[in-house]
Structure 1
Amino acid sequence: MMAAPTSSRPTTFYLSKVCQLFSFPSLNHISLKSLPWKKVIGNGMASMSAKARFGWSKGGAGLLESPTFDQSRFDPTPQAEEGDMGELRDTRGAVSGDSYKVLPSDNKYLKSNKRTLSLLDQCLTMRNIKQIQSQLIVSGTLFDPFAAGKLIAFCAISKRGDVSHAYLLFHHLPHPTTFIWNTMIRAFAEKKQPIKAISLYKQMLEKSILPNNYTFSFLLKASVDLSDVLFGLQLHEQIIKLGWESYDFVQNGLIHLYATCNCVALARKLFDMSLNLDVISWTAMINGYAKSGELEIARRLFNEMPERNAVSWSALITGYAQVGMFREALELFNEMQLAGFQPNHAGIVGALLACAFLGALDQGRWIHAYVNRSGMEFDTVLGTALIDMYAKCGCIDTALQVFNEMPERDVFAFTSMISGLANHGQSAIAIKFFGKMQKEGIKPNEITFICVLSACSRMGLVEEGMRFFESMSATYGIDPGVEHYGCLVDLLGRAGLLEEAKKLVRAMPMEPDSYVLGALLNACRMHGDFEVGKEMVESLSRRSLDHGGVHVLLSNMYASANQWEDVAKVRKGMEEKKVRKVPGCSLIEVDGVIREFVVGDWSHFLNEEAIFLLLGIDKQLKSLGLDDDFISNEHFSL
């Protein structure tokens, strides 16, 4: 740990104190909630020489000696092969190998061919870029810091570039500048290769290159992608030591890191200490509180923001949707548009999730039309959200159309489509989609198998269901969970194979939950097995899983057999245990307004007319020979 300097200057004193506070001997034993904090003073500190302030003679290598920097946690970035030099020499086929040799030291700062470099912006393909590279080789200016930096930056960051070629160029530079190191770290961080970005940082320190504020902003993004708060703390210590903590985008990166990694208390302390808060700082905190489920605090911060942007609105919309506050999510989405902000990708996905749950089909269709008008990127996340919305709002054909129009489809898109088809009574097509998914080489996940097993259960496909269940571990290496066992129990129970279902429950590698035992209880009701039904209720009661729905199911079993004394006993037992069934709730969109209907709520002024109409529908359904369970008297009971 660094000793506190005796300098009388307050900036140096506070900086040293914070360095002491963050120089932990072992971060593995630190409670993130109890970390001490001090305010660090001085924007001008960053311009001072780090070596002069801390007496370092090793440059960036000194950071590797920090007790908190663990070099072994990240694999090194793959090194370019020496044989790859031929690609650099022969980019046009007419460049001699001698022209690529490192220039003598007296030509180190040879003026770059600026006219050639100016053509980079006109390049459309990597072939064009390599032609410019060849011209730089011929002119002997490829190793000039300005030329190399601009060429590598274009290859690494431009959409028309190639990060692997940029790394090849970078690897053969004799003396990459800090700017070039930062360019490569940024490229890997932006292309979701955080391990490579962090490995480059380690190499940078090993070569005694001091990082700057840009280095840390890119590294913090890599830490967010890894959800690695430990490495983030290591970076935070080094940021303080080098004096970059007061730069806005470094502060924002730290706040975003802690907020994203569920260290909201740390993020808030940084937020409260910051002198130059901007919309990014506020949005990071709102996003952190929203992800941790603290929506009240998130909304309060949102209301206090001096200025907002589309990202701020979308963070709160997504937060509401993720915790099930769908009505609030849609209301905020509408407020956002009234305030003159155009919804972005995240806001659109959050609003579609809310539309799916609320059955807000008109709003969902408007959002779909907006996506088409605005030219928003139609990626797999957005496509899956649209499929889910249309399927849950009853428009399975439109969901299928969206699926077919998707340029790329992943496991989530297929799973959403399979689930929608199964829920709309098209289980056979759902199973065919599973086969199509396999043919396209997309590996199913746990949720996919739940949907497929549910489809088999609805169709009574016992053999197919068993085959899918066995393939989970045998073919895909997925250990079946309690939900998968529940689907299989439901499949066997619906097919009348109660003994097989009971054997499966007894052989489960985990304790059965209310879903599994409830599926078996429902099978007992369907086939009139009262003894096993009572056994299931007792088993649920012992596990404290006997919620109201279980008792109602047993009561209905007795009622269907006209055993009214047993019905009364079950109801009396519910009263004694103070067990109540959670009221059912339905949502429907009428003229663009979401309306909610709750079982037992008789407050609506048209209630009598609605009940009369439902009884008429019930009578017609029974006249068609449909099962009494389709609309039970339970729906009309007080």
Structure 2
Amino acid sequence: MSGPSNVLLWFKHSTHNIKQLNQILAQTITAGLIRTIPTWNCIIRAYAKSPAPIQAILMYNHFMQCSSLLPDNHTFPALLKACGRLLSLPKGKEIHGYVVKVGLDSDVYIQNSLIHMYGVTIQIHDSRRLFDGMSQRDIVTWNSILAAYVANPSWQGEALVLYREMVFEGVEADEITMVILLSACTHLGALGYGRMVHVCMLKKGFVCVLNLDNALLGFYAKSEDMDAVFRLFGKMGPRDVVSYTIVINGYVELGLVDVAREIFDRIPSKDIVLWNSMISGYVKVKRPQEALELFHKMEMEMIKPDEMTVVSVLSACSNLSNLQFGRWVHQIMHRIDIRMDVFVGTALVDMYAKCGSLEDAVRTFYKMKYKDVFTWTAVIVGLANSGHGKEALSFFSQMQTEGIEPTEVTFVAVLTACSHSGLVDEGCYWFDRMVGVYKIRPKIEHLGCIIDLLSRAGLLCQAEGLIRTIPDEDRMISYKTLLSACIKYADIGIGEKVAKKLIELDPQSHGVYVLLSNFYSLAGQWEDVMEMRRIMKELDLNKEAGISFVEV
């Protein structure tokens, strides 16, 4: 190191490499070059932009305790940026207090930084109070308060109102203003306003600006106007991975995954974000086999997967019950040291459970350091669907002991466990607790589980009564369940009533007539059996063969 100017240059170009930053800091201290305010400010600014902004705060604390130098107006904007990135409101307020104490609170750069810090920490009233109290405002001030409103979901509409005030005051918008406004329009679904912003951009000559073009792409994609996305994408100058990701995700959201794949295949250099978008797209549109094939291609091209990749791929394995592929993914995770966060762990538990490997599901569950309600629900669902009702309820009790509040999906799993294992008392108890204690309104899935539970237990009158509380359009499956129970328990009286209801609900269903034929056979009503078969023949309704497979 030859002098302070080189120090400033090195810090400026090393903000994304924390190891390199630490090495430069150590050399700076060793060389005795850390004795000026500009050097301190450069160090704090570099750490504030780095992956470890907490280091900027720690450097400031050390600076205040160990140096005779005092921070100046260039110190605090970087510090407040670090507070914003860390969402550290207490430290931000502490710095604000110090700024007021030393008389720097009228500095426009510090005021802008305070507005931004309060905005990202969801203190919109403090941001607006500072904004309204400023005697001088520049475009950064307006952009800071607009961004503060957009960062707060309840206040995003105010950003559009405030922009109108900005125009009335004669303040000239810049590219950042346009990006902020398009973000607000995207969140609000304000298609008309967003198009007006686009027209404004063209009038101001804001063309071939990558960040702005990407914001426009995101706005039109979110508005499902893919024709506009296609036109804009075609006219763009430079494109980056963000541009391609927005377009691919836009087509995927509309279910046009084949169009997305065509674009994906034309991209010469793809990063992990693009691979993840395409793989998750196949999973979203329920084409899991293609998701696995694309992941295999990704592996062949030596692209290292991340946590998001494996979550999508494990979901595809779950949908296909492909245990062998799921185990291979798990091995890859170990090989490249994928972090076992709650999302990855839950996806693994779900995959093993749905593929029938309950031992692996439970083992993975217990290895997880942190489990949320989705993790608990995944293991309960796996046990419930495999007929291990008592074990599922045991996990449910453990979950409540851990203080995890169950969701409506968790209760579907619990009631399924009771139904599949014939636990009538337990099922009715937890249904009552769900409604009375957890205040969860029963949905058709919950009622279906209870109806199935009562039907399997031979409590046919109670099951029939519960079906009457369900809307007509949702009764078909429940009536089929009840009629099967009537056949099992030879209850001709209730069965005849259910049979009539089924014909009323769906006179074209082959499954209904097959079930009715079986019921009338049990009842010895052979004329009705012949009638059912005649109707089936007339409608050419042939019973479809079932398909099942197990991965060995």
How would you bin the TM-score normalised by the shorter chain? 0.7 to 0.9
Equivalent of residue 423 in structure 1, options 385, 388, 393: 385
2:460 aligned residue (495, 498, 507): 498
Report whether the alignment pairs 1:318 with 2:246.
no
Change (3 A) 1:215 1:530: farther
Q: Tell me if the contact between 2:156 and 2:188 (Cα under 8 Å) persists in the aligned partners.
A: no
Q: How far 1:487 moved relative to its partner? A: 0.9
1:141 to 58, 63, 71: 71
* 1:248 Cα deviation after fit: 0.9
- Residue type matched to 1:174 in 2? S
Q: 1:589 Cα shift?
A: 3.9
Q: CA deviation at 1:165?
A: 2.6
Alignment of 1:543-622 (within 5 A): 543-544=505-506, 547-558=509-520, 567-589=529-551
Q: What does 1:375-524 correspond to in 2, within 5 Å? A: 375-508=337-470, 511-524=473-486
Stretches of structure 2 that go unaligned for 5 or more consecutive residues are 1-35, 100-104, 123-146
Of 81, 100, 107 in structure 2, the residue corresponding to residue 153 of structure 1 is 81
* Deviation per residue, 1:123-175 (Å, 9 max, x gap): 86797356147369974434x1x3112212223326xx735533664686434
Within 5 A, what are the aligned runs for 1:270-285?
A: 270-285=232-247
The TM-score, its normalising length taken from structure 2, stands at 0.74
1:256 is displaced (CA, Å) by 2.6
Aligned equivalent of 1:230, options 170, 186, 190? 190
Counterpart residue type for residue 229 of structure 1:
G
The CA deviation at 1:442 is 2.2
Q: 1:283 to 1:169 in 2, by over 3 A?
A: same
2:261 matched to 1:299?
Answer: yes
| Bigger Cα displacement from structure 2, 114-123 vs 535-544 | 114-123
CA deviation after TM superposition for structure 1 residue 309, in Å: 2.3
Could you state the TM-score of these two structures normalised by the residue count of structure 1?
A: 0.65
The question of whether the paired residues in 1 share the 8 Å contact of 2:221 and 2:229 is answered with yes
State the Cα distance separating 1:346 from its structure 2 match. Answer: 2.8
Are 1:367 and 2:299 an aligned pair? no
Query: What SS does structure 2 have at the residue aligned with 1:503?
Result: helix
Count of residue pairs the alignment pairs up? 473
1:349 to 311, 324, 349: 311
1:165 to 84, 87, 91: 91
Q: Which residue of 2 aligns with 1:599?
A: none
1:174–1:363 CA distance, 2 compared to 1 (3 A) = farther
Provide the rounded CA distance (Å) in 2 between the counterparts of 1:126 and 1:432.
48
1:40 corresponds to: none
Greater relative CO, 1 or 2 (CA 8 Å, sep 6+): 1
Change (3 A) 1:496 1:129: farther
Counterpart for residue 195 of structure 1: 153
**Aligned AA (1:148):** F
Q: 1:411 to 1:123 in 2, by over 3 A?
A: closer
Shift of 1:288: 1.5
Query: Which secondary structure does the structure 2 equivalent of 1:307 belong to?
Result: coil
The residue type equivalent to 2:153 in the other structure is I
Structure 1 residues 588 and 506, CA gap change in structure 2 (3 angstroms): closer
Residue 115 in structure 1 maps to residue 40 in structure 2: yes
**Which stretch has the larger CA shift, 395-404 or 541-550?**
541-550
What is the distance in 2 between the residues matched to 1:533 and 1:279? 61
Per-residue deviation, 1:278:
2.9
Q: CA distance change for structure 1 residues 314 and 326 in 2, over 3 Å: closer, same or farther? A: same
Q: Which residue of 1 aligns with 2:291?
A: 329
Deviation at 1:345, TM superposition (A): 2.8
The whole-number CA distance in structure 2 between the counterparts of 1:136 and 1:250 is: 44
The equivalent of 2:32 in structure 1 is none
Aligned partner of residue 314 in structure 2, secondary structure: helix
| Whole-angstrom distance in 2 between the partners of 1:216 and 1:400 | 51
- Report the CA distance shift for 1:130/1:342 in structure 2 as closer, same or farther (over 3 A): same
Shift of 1:233: 4.4
Amino acid at match of 1:115: W
- Is 1:309 matched with 2:262? no
Q: Is the Cα contact below 8 Å between 1:533 and 1:554 reproduced in 2? A: no
For residues 170 and 271 of structure 1, the distance between their equivalents in structure 2, rounded to whole angstroms, comes to 44
SS in 2 for 1:441: coil
| Alpha-carbon distance between aligned partners in 2 of 1:168 and 1:243, rounded to the nearest angstrom | 42
Q: Which runs of 5+ in 1 are unaligned?
A: 1-110, 591-638
Matched residues in 2 for 1:483 and 1:546: separation? 24
The percentage of counterpart residues that share the same residue type is 33
Superposition deviation, residue 350 in structure 1: 1.8
Q: Which digits, 9 at most, give the CA deviation of each residue in 1:165-207, with x for residues without a partner?
A: 33664686434535775676678799x9643895996899689
| Paired residues of 2:373 and 2:406 also in contact (CA < 8 A) | yes
**1:302: Cα distance to partner?**
2.0
AA at the equivalent of 1:195: P
Instruction: Determine the C-alpha separation between the residues in 1 that align with 2:390 and 2:371.
Output: 21
Per-residue deviation, residues 424-462 of structure 1 (Å, max 9, x unmatched): 221111112222222223222221111111111122222
Instruction: Tell me the distance in 2 between the aligned counterparts of 1:294 and 1:235.
Output: 24
Deviations, residues 36-81 of structure 1 (Å, cap 9, x unaligned): xxxxxxxxxxxxxxxxxxxxxxxxxxxxxxxxxxxxxxxxxxxxxx
**165, 174, 178: which one pairs with 2:106?**
174
Cα offsets for 1:266-318 (capped at 9, x unmatched): 43343234233333212211111112211222222223334322222221211
* Stretch moving more, 199-208 or 297-306: 199-208
